[in-house]
Structure 1
Amino acid sequence: MNDFIKDTTEIPSLSFGAPEPEPELPVQQPEEKKEVMDDSVLSDEQKAMVNAFVSQIDLANTNGILQYGAGAQKKMADFSEKTLENVRSKDLGEIGDLLTSVVTELKTFDAEEEKGPFSFFKKSTNKLNAMKAKYDKAEVNVNKICDVLDGHQRQLLKDIAILDQMYAQNLNYFKELTMYILAGKKKLELVRSTELRDLQNKAQMTGKAEDAQAAKDLEDLCNRFEKKLYDLELTRMVSIQTAPQIRMIQNSNSVMAEKIQSTLVNTIPLWKNQMIIALGVHHSTEAAKAQRQVSDMTNELLKKNAENLKMATIETAKESERGIVDMETLKQTNQSLISTLDEVMKIQEDGRQKRAAAEVELVQLENDIKKKMLELSAGGQH
């Protein structure tokens, strides 16, 4: 397509073979005006070129008539062929397939989720890791496709600029063909209204065969030139049809470039952001769960410590209020001592009365009392 990059501002030029120089004839308007081609597409300078070129056209120059406008036709034919080659070589279907591949990658990843992009966080850690791995794989595939799409987008933007130049060049060919046709029609009308009419009148007046043949020859030349002009009009119609075709191609390229742009700057970043947000939510959930577990453990430890502290405090208070020897033990010991003393006193009293008679028994009793005292002393210590 780079062959089309030319200076599209050049003014079309007209040429009629290589005829011998001849004096310029004034352009005469026919007596009866006929419908002529619309020349509004031409500038004033180009219209002046058309009027000036009319005098250079020689219907008797067979080679000149044969080559009349042929250069413009050849350029238009080559231009149309190259335009067609450009359309054939531009496989927009490949770009469409790439865009479809991106969507397929994203849908395939999301299709495995039962309740949207966040539902897998309710599953196990192994499942989460598996999803992360799938996301990483999908991201690699998507990035590869996006790299290719980015290259296509740059090429499409270049093609759009070149198509603008192609459109301008096609318009230039259209103007050139229009100028040839306008000049030819004016020449044809001029010859028929002047030279041909004069020859026909002369043939009728003289009745000579050579005069009639001269009129017939000029009329044949006019007819052949008229057919040549019609052929140029067909070529001009190709140029007219090429203009919207170029715009259609350009529009298709623009639409495809916009789709690529939307995919690169909207779809892919949104998909990645969705995953980042999802992972962030999961991490926050896990952190909150861990914090809750720490708080629960702290509260449990505080409760247990408080219970243990309560029990220890109560027992300590009890022990601190308790004497070394229980009061009941002192009472029992005191009573035993009093009883013992009473019994001793009674024994002593009886002993004095019976000492003489029961010396041996007194000794025994004394031993018993000592023994009892020892027992009482031992019991008191416990």
Structure 2
Amino acid sequence: MSETVREKANQSLAMVEEVTAVVLPEPAAANAVVPLEKANKTQSAEIKRRMAEIDMEDTQSIVSFGSAAQAELQEISQAMLADVRNKDVGPAGDSLRSIVSTIRGFSVSELDVRRKRSWWEKLLGKAAPFAKFTAQFEKVQGQIDRITDNLLSHEHTLLKDIKSLDMLYEKTLQFYDELALYIAAGEAKLADLDATVIPAKEAEVSKAAEADQVMVAQELRDMRAARDDLERRVHDLKLTRQVTMQSLPSIRLVQENDKSLVTKINSTLVNTVPLWETQLAQAVTIQRSAEAANAVREANDLTNELLTSNAKNLRESNKMIRQEMERGVFDIEAVKQANADLIGTIEESLQIADEGKAKRAAAEKELQEMEANLRDTLAAAKAKKTGLGDTAGGAVPG
């Protein structure tokens, strides 16, 4: 809630307490029409003043008897009906429901910052959980500010309505009492007509001369007709008073509803909305703390991982370096292997040389045998040509 709205809500609290503290007077009982003979001095004077408004010879005065009070009552009743029709109770209730719907639409289950986005959320490009939560909070805050300002406007309207209804109730109650005076005046006039005026006119008819009887009898009939008109008028005033009495609790019922709604609105503005905002702010802070703790945990995990990895690498590197430092220029095994290979090479060379020498000696012997065979063959061929035969073939040239 903005500071301006909060200040207005606190200011309207005094107005709410003022209108709710008003106690309206109760109307008199339905049969509390005080007759003239039982009225006190003040009431008696008021009744007689209204009786004086009646002129039995003027039909208009009878028809309009009490009409001034009735006309004002009609204006007040019309104002009350217009007030009921034009009241913003519906929109105010809608605003209250809108606040509840806004808060209920806030999903706390999605506040886990460690929750991974599903493949569907990634596919749709949905924001990370905490980013989405922050956006929701900003949206809710804006809605709360707008709704609270709207509720405050409805509250001021209802406060004005309640004060207007207070005046309407008081005036209606005054007219209710005023009608009682008119009814008492009418009944007193009827009683006077029945007890005095009409009997006197009847006696006048019976005593009148025959030539004047028709005229006097017509006056009697007119008086009786006027008396009946007055009786009907008094009856109408009684009905009007009854309707007026019924309108009084109706006004109070509307007032009570307005007062209840104003109290609820003010309680929502002063108590509920700040509580909601506090809880939402705490939720944001908690999630930010969780996010910071997660970042710290990841940093610590990285540090521990680096320490472990570096210690392992140091051990392996130190081992390799120390091993290399302790090795000679040539490994003894390599020297032994090289020596063995060298000896084997020399032995193989000697063996090959011996084998070559033996093969050359054998080849030389075979060459000598081949050469001897060739000479023998050539000698045999020459003897056959000269005829010396085998003898010649046996000599070997020197």
TM-score tier, shorter chain, comes to 0.5 to 0.7
Aligned-partner SS, 1:38: coil
TM-score, length-scaled by structure 1: 0.61
**Partners of 2:155 and 2:265 within 8 A in 1:** yes
Shift of 1:75: 1.0
* 1:159-196 deviations in Å (ceiling 9; x for gaps): 11111011101111212222111111111112211121
Residue aligning to 2:33: 38
Shift of 1:302: 8.1
Structure-2 change in CA distance of 1:215 and 1:77 (3 Å): same
Shift of 1:90: 1.3
Aligned residue among 116, 123, 145 for 2:147: 145
Shift of 1:219: 1.9
Tell me the distance in 1 between the aligned counterparts of 2:262 and 2:285.
34
AA at the equivalent of 2:132: A
Structure 2 segments unaligned to the other structure (5+ residues): 1-30, 117-126, 316-398
Tell me the distance in 1 between the aligned counterparts of 2:62 and 2:305.
111
Bigger radius of gyration, 1 or 2?
2
Structure-2 change in CA distance of 1:267 and 1:44 (3 Å): farther
Shift of 1:117: 5.4
Structure-2 change in CA distance of 1:301 and 1:104 (3 Å): closer
Shift of 1:282: 2.2
- Aligned-residue CA RMSD (Å): 3.9
Aligned residue among 230, 247, 255 for 1:242: 247
AA at the equivalent of 1:273: T
Q: How does 1:263-342 map to 2 (within 5 A)?
A: 263-291=268-296
* 1:109-130 deviations in Å (ceiling 9; x for gaps): 23xxxxx457534425921011
AA at the equivalent of 1:218: M
- Among all aligned residue pairs of Structure 1 and Structure 2, give the percentage whose two residues are the same amino acid: 33
Shift of 1:245: 1.6
Residue aligning to 1:192: 194
Residue aligning to 1:131: 133
**Partners of 2:201 and 2:220 within 8 A in 1:** yes
Aligned-partner SS, 1:160: helix
* 1:190-226 deviations in Å (ceiling 9; x for gaps): 2211121233355567796445444333222211111
Q: How does 1:211-226 map to 2 (within 5 A)?
A: 212-226=217-231
Tell me the distance in 2 between the aligned counterparts of 1:84 and 1:215.
45
TM-score, length-scaled by structure 2: 0.59
Shift of 1:308: 11
Shift of 1:53: 3.7
Shift of 1:95: 1.9
Residue aligning to 2:332: none
AA at the equivalent of 2:55: D
Residue aligning to 1:258: 263
* 1:110-160 deviations in Å (ceiling 9; x for gaps): 3xxxxx457534425921011111221122123212211110111111111
AA at the equivalent of 2:112: F
Structure-2 change in CA distance of 1:128 and 1:304 (3 Å): closer
AA at the equivalent of 1:279: V
Structure-2 change in CA distance of 1:37 and 1:291 (3 Å): closer
Tell me the distance in 2 between the aligned counterparts of 1:37 and 1:296.
90
Shift of 1:54: 2.9
Structure-2 change in CA distance of 1:45 and 1:245 (3 Å): same
Moved more, 73-82 or 44-53: 44-53
AA at the equivalent of 2:263: E
Shift of 1:251: 1.8
Structure 1 segments unaligned to the other structure (5+ residues): 1-35, 111-115, 311-382
Structure-2 change in CA distance of 1:225 and 1:117 (3 Å): same
Structure-2 change in CA distance of 1:226 and 1:128 (3 Å): same
Structure-2 change in CA distance of 1:298 and 1:127 (3 Å): closer
Residue aligning to 1:120: 112
**Partners of 1:58 and 1:65 within 8 A in 2:** yes
Aligned residue among 81, 86, 93 for 2:78: 81
Q: How does 1:344-359 map to 2 (within 5 A)?
A: none
Does residue 57 of the first structure (1) align with residue 62 of the second (2)? Answer: no
Alignment: residue pair count: 279
Tell me the distance in 2 between the aligned counterparts of 1:106 and 1:303.
48
Residue aligning to 2:67: 70
Structure-2 change in CA distance of 1:300 and 1:281 (3 Å): same
**Partners of 2:92 and 2:151 within 8 A in 1:** yes
Structure-2 change in CA distance of 1:259 and 1:222 (3 Å): same
